[in-house]
């Protein structure tokens, strides 16, 4: 049992990771973005049996003093706090540099000073840009096709530089597209499911031809925990991918099958990325992660994806969950 800090605990993946860590018996300090309401984000809806085990700290990843105090006494750090919405990075790119790059620097410097035994830094498959070869290995060139992607490339390199310069025990985990309950409606799968759950049969989407490699959130969390205990992963970038590729259009069709509805897809121009910014193909190679840790996706392949979509849809169609979303509004 370790004492671990999870930044971004109030978010989609972070809240699921907190659940998994508590279930595994770890002492979890959950770092959430400060707000005047005292909200813990998605942690607020977790069962009392989970919340009672948490030490929750409200703060801001951009403040080095706040980060240091949150990290004090922790053995491991899972760094997930970030701005992640690609469309919003077109509007407010400086905030992405502040949060994703400076915030990561604060984590690394605090970990170095406090002697933390492991930092798992969260990257993203968006750092690869459109695939130049498939499946995409960790040696694929990095191409910043959006301000968001560029900020994450910078954050990744800062993390790796601390390993090379100061022996700070860092691993960089690079998930491909994670989905599941509690995901923001700015992502394509919740966008489709929430519109269907709200009774819409004419679904508004952006580009349908790009392909993605989707990971169910439970698989992503298992990867985080496996890499945190793997000494051979120190100083390395490690993909989390399902090794399964599907287009956005085919994803919409599969969701329609799972939810037993007929859909008409309508192109919504405001959901289209600038031409040079759209990542047209993502299809990841997970061999390094499997070799290092023995991790395997439990929701891999077409049938695994179908099961993951069914579980995701089941959560979203619950009226108490759907009420947290605005299905007919575009979330930037």
pLDDT digits (tens, 9 = 90+) for 207-245: 889 999 999 999 999 999 999 999 999 999 999 999 899
Please answer whether residues 228 and 78 qualify as being in contact, where contact means their C-beta atoms are separated by less than 8 angstroms: yes
Distances (CA, A) of 211 to 176, 251, 302: 11, 9, 14
Which residues are registered as beta bridge partners of 29?
5, 55
Q: Could you please report the per-residue DSSP string of 219-282?
A: HHHHHHHHHHT-GGGTT-EEEE--S--EEHHHHHHHHHHHTT---EEEE-GGGPPPTTT---B-
Please answer whether residues 120 and 20 qualify as being in contact, where contact means their C-beta atoms are separated by less than 8 angstroms: no
Mean pLDDT, residues 105-129: 98
Out of 3.40.640.10, 1.10.490.10, 3.40.50.720, 3.40.50.10470, the CATH code matching 3-178+214-240 is: 3.40.50.720
Q: Looking at residue 270, what is its pLDDT? A: 76
Enter the tokens of residue 309.
Answer: 């979509």
Q: Give the CA dihedral 88, 139, 122, 270, nearest 10 degrees.
A: 20
pLDDT digits (tens, 9 = 90+) for 306-326: 999 999 999 999 999 999 999
Range list of H helices, the chain: 12-23, 48-51, 64-71, 86-91, 93-96, 103-114, 147-166, 188-197, 217-228, 248-258, 287-293, 301-316, 319-322
Please answer whether residues 169 and 3 qualify as being in contact, where contact means their C-beta atoms are separated by less than 8 angstroms: no
Q: Could you please report the per-residue DSSP string of 62-92?
A: T-HHHHHHHHTT-SEEEE------HHHHHH-
Mean pLDDT of the chain: 96
pLDDT band at 25 (very low <50, low <70, confident <90, very high): very high
Q: Looking at residue 124, what is its pLDDT? A: 98
The whole-angstrom separation of Cα 109 and Cα 168 is 9
Residue 80's nearest CA partner among 163, 150, 155 is: 155
DSSP helix/strand/coil, 125 = helix
Please answer whether residues 43 and 112 qualify as being in contact, where contact means their C-beta atoms are separated by less than 8 angstroms: no
Parse the chain into domains and list their residue ranges. 3-178+214-240
Predicted TM-score of the model (pTM): 0.96
pLDDT digits (tens, 9 = 90+) for 41-65: 999 999 999 999 999 999 999 999 9
């Amino acid at each position: 049992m370790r004492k671990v800090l999870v930044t971004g605990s109030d978010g989609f993946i972070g809240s699921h990771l907190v659940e998994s860590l508590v279930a595994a018996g770890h002492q979890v300090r959950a770092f959430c973005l400060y707000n005047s309401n005292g909200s813990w984000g998605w942690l607020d809806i977790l069962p009392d049996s989970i919340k009672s085990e948490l030490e929750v700290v409200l703060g801001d990843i951009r403040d080095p003093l706040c980060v240091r105090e949150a990290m004090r006494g922790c053995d491991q750090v899972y760094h997930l706090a970030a701005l992640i919405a690609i469309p919003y990075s077109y509007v407010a790119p400086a905030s992405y540099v502040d949060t994703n790059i400076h915030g990561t620097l604060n984590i690394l410097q605090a970990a170095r000073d406090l002697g933390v035994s492991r930092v798992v830094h969260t990257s993203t498959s968006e750092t690869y840009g459109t695939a130049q070869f498939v499946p995409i290995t960790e040696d694929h060139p990095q191409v910043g096709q959006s301000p968001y992607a560029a900020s994450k490339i910078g954050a990744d390199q800062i993390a790796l530089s601390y390993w090379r310069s100061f022996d700070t025990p860092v691993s960089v985990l690079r998930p491909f597209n994670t989905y599941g309950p509690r995901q923001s409606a700015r992502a394509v799968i919740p966008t489709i499911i929430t519109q269907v759950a709200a009774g819409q049969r004419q679904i508004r989407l952006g580009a349908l031809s790009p392909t993605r490699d989707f990971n169910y959130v439970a698989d992503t969390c298992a990867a985080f925990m496996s890499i945190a205990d793997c000494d051979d992963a120190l100083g390395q970038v490690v993909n989390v991918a399902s090794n399964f590729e599907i287009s956005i259009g085919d994803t919409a069709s599969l969701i329609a099958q799972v939810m037993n509805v007929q859909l008409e897809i309508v192109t919504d121009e405001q959901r289209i990325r600038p031409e040079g910014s759209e990542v047209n193909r993502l299809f990841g190679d997970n061999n390094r992660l499997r070799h290092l840790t023995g991790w395997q996706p439990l929701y891999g392949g077409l049938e695994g994806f179908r099961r993951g979509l069914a579980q995701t849809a089941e959560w979203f169609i619950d009226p108490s969950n759907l009420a947290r979303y605005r299905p007919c509004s575009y979330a930037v």
